[in-house]
Amino acid sequence: MPDFQAYLKSIPHHFKPESEKLLKRVFEFSQEAHKGQKRKSGEDYFEHEKAASVILGQIFPDPPTLAATLMHDVPEDTSTPLEKIEEEFGAEIAGLIDGVTQLGHVRMKSSQDKFYVENLRKLFIATSKDARVILIKLADRLHNMRTIQYISPEKQIKVAKETLEIYAPIAGRLGIAAWKDELEDLSFKIVYPKEFEETKKILEDELEKRTENLKIMQKSLEHTLRTEGVKFIEVKGRVKRVHSLYNKLKKYHGDVSKIFDVIALRIITRSTGDCYAALGAIHKHHQPVPGRIKDYISTPKPNGYQSLHTSVFCKNGMIFEIQIRTDLMHDEAERGIAAHWFYSEQEKQDRLRPLQSNWIKELRAWEEAADSPEEFLESLKIDFFKDRIFVFTPKGDIKDLPMGASIIDFAFAVHTDLGYHMMGAKINGKMASIYDELKKGDMIEIIKVKKPAVISRDWLKAAVTHNARNRIRHYLKEHEKGLFDRIKELKLQDLSLPRFFRKK
């Protein structure tokens, strides 16, 4: 089958004979099931499933997941039931398809829609149970966004807004930069066309100004690294995406001159040691911009991103951001959670590692503890979609918290017992209020007492993380319950009180 061979060649992976045989059977099965069906574009419907599977295969060539992607619309859009798929291809593949089908019922019309929160909850429950389901959904959504021009303008806006608000951030939290960036730009162009064109024009103008300097700086860096004997694979340029630039411009009130990474240079090495050696060599020959050095290797971002960032002055005074990472770090930055899926071939393991990330683990535990849909949505906005900061314990342990977190959030993040016994705190060695907001890089020391602290509702106002708010609510509920029980007892004892007042 020529089509199948072309499909296999489009995925950069060498499949075992049994996996290739499985995918061929699935390919033919799905093609037959969709026979005669057309998309809005006029092409065969099966082309969508094939394209989604190819998108997924670029970052995650797992045969059962690719098989499920090739058939993900079969139960919903053809006369072939899920039971038939399970009978033909097994429970694992059928289970993944069923998960994607359930996600297909999730509709995000707007945050004002009465079913919005519950549908969002369903989506994240599915994510926490098996991340492969959300990977299939993201690949499906990315292909739909690439071909969105074939549906009505009204539907385009609805799909693009949902993508921008929900699916692109999920791709970001899973560390899949390649998908996140493309989903954002494709959606941004449809939802905010005026802002997209304005930002695109700014980007084009900046590229025209900076491209020649970029080539000069690239050669200079290569010369520096060779002179200092630093091993590297390549030095290449990276242009900022339109949506990303738009967000940066908002931060700097539209002043593009304050954005140093419109074009960045990326140095790829083979080892972590070479990354730090490259950083030292660059600073020896190029003046660094004070306060612009970021070490995401020793303190990775919450989605696992690792790299060294620095900004240096070019000879003509222009500033360039330089990112330094290993080839493995670069692969993980593009593929995120999917890059951790396979054991290396040297380990010769037949079993796959569970698809996990800290975010998935947190999501599972947090979902179990959520009390109401409203609390779920509020915590989701803060804990999972907000920018993050890194702070430190006195021992140097790193705590990852959402921006806006207070000392109260920090204490409960370290240990529940520490939160319940906190009477004060120090930030960077100075006394501080437990309600104070934390900043990136702060070192926090909690002052603890033996007896449990008296927790008030003011704590609830200062806490932003789900974990801290949940613990505080639990404390208040228990103590308020005791108080009301006592009042109830007193009322039962004093039933004669009204008669007493009447006699007086």
Classify strands 388-392 and 319-326 as parallel, antiparallel or unpaired. Answer: unpaired
The answer to whether 126 and 134 are in contact (CB under 8 A) is yes
Active site residue 387: no
Terminal Cα-to-Cα distance of the chain (whole angstroms): 102
Q: Given the structure tokens 């960045």, which residue do they identify?
A: 264
Report the alpha-carbon distance of residue 479 to residue 62 in Å, rounded.
51
Which residue among the candidates 20, 77, 86, 198 is catalytic per the annotation?
A: 77
Report the alpha-carbon distance of residue 71 to residue 50 in Å, rounded.
9
Which residue among the candidates 3, 32, 43, 76 is catalytic per the annotation?
A: 76
Report the alpha-carbon distance of residue 43 to residue 39 in Å, rounded.
6
CA within 13 Å, CB half, 398 = 13
3-state secondary structure of 202: helix
Closest CA to 319 of 217, 249, 200, 222: 217
Residue type, 163: T
The 3-state secondary structure of 115-161 reads CHHHHHHHHHHHHHHCHHHHHHHHHHHHHHHHCHHHCCHHHHHHHHH
Active site residue 76: yes
* Phi-psi label, residue 254: left if phi above 0, alpha if psi -120 to 50, beta otherwise: left
For residue 186, what are the contacts with CB-CB under 8 A and spacing of at least 6? Answer: 145, 146, 148, 160, 163
Helix (H) or strand (E) holding 322: strand 319-326
Report the alpha-carbon distance of residue 135 to residue 53 in Å, rounded.
10
Q: Per the structure block, which two tokens stand in for 65?
A: 């997941």
Helix residue ranges, H only, 34-115:
46-59, 63-70, 74-77, 82-89, 91-104
Catalytic amino acids? 76-77
